[in-house]
């Protein structure tokens, strides 16, 4: 059963009376030539919030090409996969001939890709509706597939362009109505992308939306606040937005406009990049390169309850020639609070209903039968991937474990999660670094159960790992 969080809830951080809040960042490390940097250490990175240095409490390389330990005989693991990429071709905000320029750019970009694994395409149509050209293999459409070549994606895109030719609705003339429709579509896509754990990228190829627009009353509407809220939703779903300000003039277009300011704001607040017209190929390539150079970093921030101030984040490297790209700010009280239990429930529900194993937490699992109806899962959890902090003379952290049981692709009623508290002596912590953290759990199944997905959730870092195991 998939768990949905309303947009209003998903936009914010916890708003409890506590003053210490964990801020987690997905950071892309890029060298002077724009290439991926995969060998950074925590000592190479400095984080400042509102100009104040912040001690890093969690640091790990999370690029989608990181090495994985090969499974031993009888062992199942969750190996890293290409980071999901969603391309949004915006016909709703286009101008005359803009669509043809954007279409050609996307075609060229897709033809140059070596693989189309986990690449999805949507249109925002001339009627302001989302149309799945190549949807994700889950969610509202549920008809997508990862088994497609770049040439196959180009064919589907070309067919969709011809099918959806048409003039824009009259409502699109009103900049306020047009922008609000655009934001609703973006929110819907971001919620779908939240169903996949880990970092994702959204490449939005568009003529853009205004940062401000005149209302019928004569006043001006400022779209910066909803852009910040959407950016919080993107950051909460770990989605970086790459924007391309597409124009009919292609690469020769004028780059100065209020639309550019809005698109730059989306990129800055989510850890993506902004590109001028004619750079769809560059944006798609950059998103794929960034995914190979991602680091997960976290620090504690002291903020007041119901704090609606935007906190600025600056992250730099002490190594010369390296640029660190991440979200540049957050608003703790941007929306209603989501409790820790709600976040955990959403993470488990979405992962159980999705098609992919989560790889934020590396797992190695072996399975044996204690009886016909009881399976024993022997799990090893990589301590590098979970937040374990020294408290006095102990090392402590908190996990939650939950199995998902399936008959074919149909999810059976899952048992409730079980908490597992990490509490290690220094010697045990040193041993865990070599042989991983050992966790065992019994799972009750029936004769119809065909596979089990074991899910492990870090209750503080809100990250997830899972392994799917067929039942013989």
Q: What is the DSSP string of 333-372?
A: TSS----HHHHHHHHHHHHHHSSS--BSS-EEEEEEESSS
Write down the pLDDT at residue 139.
53
User: What three-state secondary structure class fits 295?
Assistant: strand
Write down the pLDDT at residue 16.
40
Averaging pLDDT over each range in 10-14, 31-35, 135-139, 140-144, which range is the top one? 31-35
Q: What average pLDDT does the segment 400-419 reach? A: 89
Question: Percent of the chain at pLDDT above 70?
Answer: 87
Query: What does the angle CA 366 – CA 368 – CA 370 come to, to the nearest 5 degrees?
Result: 145
Question: With contact defined as beta carbons under 8 Å apart, do 299 and 55 qualify?
Answer: yes
Task: Name the CA radius of gyration of the chain, rounded.
Answer: 23
Question: With contact defined as beta carbons under 8 Å apart, do 231 and 265 qualify?
Answer: yes
* pLDDT, tens only, 346-357: 899 989 988 889
Q: What average pLDDT does the segment 379-393 reach? A: 95
- Distances in Å between the Cα of 351 and the Cα atoms of 73, 429, 467 are 26, 29, 11
Distance CA 32, CA 45 (A): 17
pLDDT at 397 exceeding the cut of 60: yes
pLDDT at 19 exceeding the cut of 80: no
Q: What average pLDDT does the segment 236-253 reach? A: 78
Distance CA 170, CA 168 (A): 7
Write down the pLDDT at residue 252.
45
Q: How many CB atoms lie within 10 A of CB 142?
A: 12
3 confidence band (pLDDT: 50, 70, 90): very low
Distance CA 225, CA 216 (A): 20
145 confidence band (pLDDT: 50, 70, 90): low
Q: In b/e form, how buried is each residue of 409-426, taking b as 16+ CB within 10 angstroms?
A: eebbebeebeebebebee
**Nearest in space to 387 (alpha carbons), one of 315, 467, 457:** 457
Q: What average pLDDT does the segment 425-454 reach? A: 94
pLDDT at 367 exceeding the cut of 80: yes
At a CB cut-off of 8 Å and minimum separation 6, what does 277 contact? Answer: 101, 244, 245, 246, 247, 249, 250, 251, 252, 253, 255
- Tokens read off for 260: 């550019």
pLDDT at 266 exceeding the cut of 80: yes
Write down the pLDDT at residue 396.
96
Distance CA 82, CA 70 (A): 18
- Distances in Å between the Cα of 11 and the Cα atoms of 25, 234, 273, 335, 415 are 16, 8, 21, 6, 29
Mean of all residue pLDDT scores within the chain: 85
422 confidence band (pLDDT: 50, 70, 90): very high
14 confidence band (pLDDT: 50, 70, 90): very low
Domains of the chain: 7-61+293-330 (2.60.40), 85-243+251-272 (3.40.50.410), 340-470 (2.60.40.150)
pLDDT at 360 exceeding the cut of 90: yes
Beta bridge partners of 117: none
**Nearest in space to 365 (alpha carbons), one of 438, 444, 429:** 438
Distance CA 325, CA 256 (A): 23
**Nearest in space to 244 (alpha carbons), one of 371, 402, 101:** 101
Tokens 């568009």 belong to residue: 206
Q: What is the pTM of this model?
A: 0.88
User: What three-state secondary structure class fits 105?
Assistant: helix
- Could you say which DSSP state residue 394 is in? E
């Amino acid at each position: 059963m998939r768990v949905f969080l309303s947009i209003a809830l998903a936009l914010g951080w916890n708003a409890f009376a506590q003053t210490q809040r964990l801020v987690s960042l997905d950071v892309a490390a890029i060298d002077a030539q724009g290439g991926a940097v995969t060998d950074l250490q925590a000592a190479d990175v400095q984080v400042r919030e509102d100009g104040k240095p912040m001690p890093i409490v969690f640091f790990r390389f999370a690029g989608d090409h990181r090495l994985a330990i090969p499974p031993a005989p009888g062992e199942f693991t969750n190996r890293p996969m290409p980071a999901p990429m969603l391309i949004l071709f915006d016909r709703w905000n286009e101008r005359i001939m803009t669509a043809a320029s954007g279409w050609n750019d996307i075609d060229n970009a897709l033809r140059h890709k070596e693989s189309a694994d986990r690449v999805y395409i949507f249109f925002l149509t001339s009627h302001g509706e989302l149309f799945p050209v190549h949807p994700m293999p889950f969610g509202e459409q549920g008809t997508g597939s990862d088994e497609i070549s770049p040439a196959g994606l180009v064919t589907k895109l070309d067919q969709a362009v011809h099918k959806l030719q048409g003039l824009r609705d009259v409502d699109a003339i009103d900049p306020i109505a047009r922008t609000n429709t655009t934001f609703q579509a973006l929110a819907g896509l971001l919620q779908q992308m939240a169903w996949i754990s880990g970092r994702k990228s959204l490449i939005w190829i568009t003529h853009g939306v205004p940062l401000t627009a005149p209302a019928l009353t004569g006043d001006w509407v400022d779209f910066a606040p909803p852009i910040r809220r959407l950016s919080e939703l993107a950051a909460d779903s770990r989605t970086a937005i790459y924007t391309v300000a597409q124009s009919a003039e292609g690469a020769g277009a004028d780059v100065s406009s209020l639309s550019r300011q809005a698109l730059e704001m989306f990129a800055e607040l989510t850890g993506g990049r902004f590109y001028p017209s004619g750079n769809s190929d560059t944006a798609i390539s950059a998103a794929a390169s960034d995914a190979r150079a991602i680091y997960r970093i976290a620090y504690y921030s002291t903020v007041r309850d119901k704090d609606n101030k935007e906190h600025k984040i600056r992250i730099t490297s002490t190594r010369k020639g390296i640029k660190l790209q991440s979200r540049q700010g957050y608003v703790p009280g941007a929306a209603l609070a989501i409790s820790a239990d709600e976040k955990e429930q959403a993470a488990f529900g979405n992962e159980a209903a999705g098609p992919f194993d989560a790889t934020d937490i590396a797992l190695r699992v072996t399975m044996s039968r204690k009886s016909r109806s009881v399976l024993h899962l022997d799990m090893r959890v990589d301590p590098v991937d979970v937040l374990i902090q020294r408290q006095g003379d102990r090392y402590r952290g908190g996990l939650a474990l939950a199995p998902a049981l399936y008959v074919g692709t149909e999810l059976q009623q899952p048992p409730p999660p079980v908490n597992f508290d990490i509490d290690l002596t220094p010697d045990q912590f040193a041993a865990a670094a070599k042989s991983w953290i050992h966790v065992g759990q019994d799972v009750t199944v029936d004769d119809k159960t065909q596979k089990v997905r074991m899910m492990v959730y870090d209750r503080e870092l809100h990250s997830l790992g899972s392994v799917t195991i067929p039942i013989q």
